[in-house]
Amino acid sequence: MEPYRVFISSIMNQAIEDLSAERQVVKSAVERFSPITVAWAFEAEPASPKPLLDFYLDAVKTCDAFVLIVGQNLTKPVQNEVQVALDYRKPMLAFCKRVAQRDPEAQDLLQAMDVKYDLFANAVELHEMIRQSLGGHLLGIVRGQLALEVQLGDRLAQLRGFARQHRVVSIFPTIPICRYNSFTVEEVNHNHVRFQKNGFANVYVPAERIAAVLETGSHERPSIEVEGRLQWITARQNWYFRPEKPPSPDPWGIGVGRQAPREPQFSEETLSLLQAHPCQIEWSNPESLAGREVFFDEDGKHLANGRQILTCTR
């Protein structure tokens, strides 16, 4: 069985900030749990033919836990390492050196990580903090108290590449089934993925709800499968993520409905939105929905009256 590998991240350029003593005590603290754990420290690794960026970021992708040491400053390599660790959902232990003034970028990074970090004054103090934190983390794994998260790393990493290219993708499932299923990937972080349609309509999907990223060829549009659905809301003229899966079977591809009176009652907000985007509302038989737009209310449900479905024409 492979040991539990702990990646050590910090500034390494001593001309900017000397954290060499701190790196050494982290390595020492990790190795106290040997052979269960092993430290990955850049300076201790053998030479490699890999491009430098791939060399250390691949190590982040394959590590089991990520330890960050932050002092006064921040460098681009450390930012890259943290972002990849967030994308790949690595357990993170963060430790901040007490300094008179911290660079704003370093402070922003700590907030973006959204984890509880410890403050330390010197390397001796840091060694004990690492020992206790890592020991507690390992004990939680042994006792089964730490739920294993779905590893989103590969999916989020692919989506980050799509975002840089503003790549067009298809998203499934959608309600209704969308004939022109094309969205661009605009933003990816550890909380959500922002898709865009027609250059202005933003759709936010929680990162943990990205179930699969499927690429079938260089000339094919990638497909994104979500755990839930993308739901069209008629009055808002936009797509929204909803956590419920579409029903099965769903012969008309219009999801869940609810019964409504012949003269449906809408909220004031919906009425205001409908006035801004006028449409003619009428009841239609399910067999004649082709070419018609089904009306979906704010709850994402279509409206039914007996067998008839509420539709709208613009």
9-39 per-position pLDDT tens digit: 999 999 999 999 999 999 999 999 999 999 9
Q: Tell me the Cα Rg of the chain.
A: 25
| pLDDT at residue 150 tops 50 | no
* 208 and 129 assigned to the same domain: no
Q: pLDDT grade, residue 148 (50/70/90)?
A: very low
Residue 296 is predicted with a pLDDT of: 95
Residues 58-100: tens digit of each pLDDT: 999 999 999 999 999 999 999 999 989 988 889 999 999 999 9
* 161 and 301 assigned to the same domain: yes
Looking at the 3D structure of the chain, how many domains does it have? 2
pTM here is 0.63
* Helices and strands counted in the chain (H then E): 7, 17
* 148 within some domain: no
* 238 within some domain: yes
In CATH, what number is assigned to the domain containing residue 124? Answer: 3.40.50.450
* 139 and 160 assigned to the same domain: no
* 180 within some domain: yes
- Picking from 89, 118, 143, the residue at the C-terminal end of a domain is 143
Residues 228-287: tens digit of each pLDDT: 999 999 999 899 999 999 988 888 899 999 999 999 888 888 888 888 878 888 999 988
144 CB-near residues (< 8 Å, 6+ apart): none
Instruction: Give me the domain span that covers residue 102.
Output: 4-143
* 25 and 163 assigned to the same domain: no
Region of residue 197 (left: phi > 0; alpha: psi -120 to 50; beta: else): beta
* 104 and 12 assigned to the same domain: yes
Q: What is the mean pLDDT of the chain?
A: 89
Residues 41-51: tens digit of each pLDDT: 999 999 999 99
Residues 49-59: tens digit of each pLDDT: 999 989 999 99
Residue 151 is predicted with a pLDDT of: 56
* 188 within some domain: yes
* 45 and 10 assigned to the same domain: yes
* 253 within some domain: yes
Residue 145 is predicted with a pLDDT of: 54
Residue corresponding to tokens 């205001």: 272
- Picking from 112, 143, 174, the residue at the C-terminal end of a domain is 143
* 56 and 182 assigned to the same domain: no
* 186 within some domain: yes
* 263 within some domain: yes
- Picking from 143, 165, 196, the residue at the C-terminal end of a domain is 143
* 185 and 61 assigned to the same domain: no
Name the nearest CA neighbour of 22 among 110, 153, 128. Answer: 128
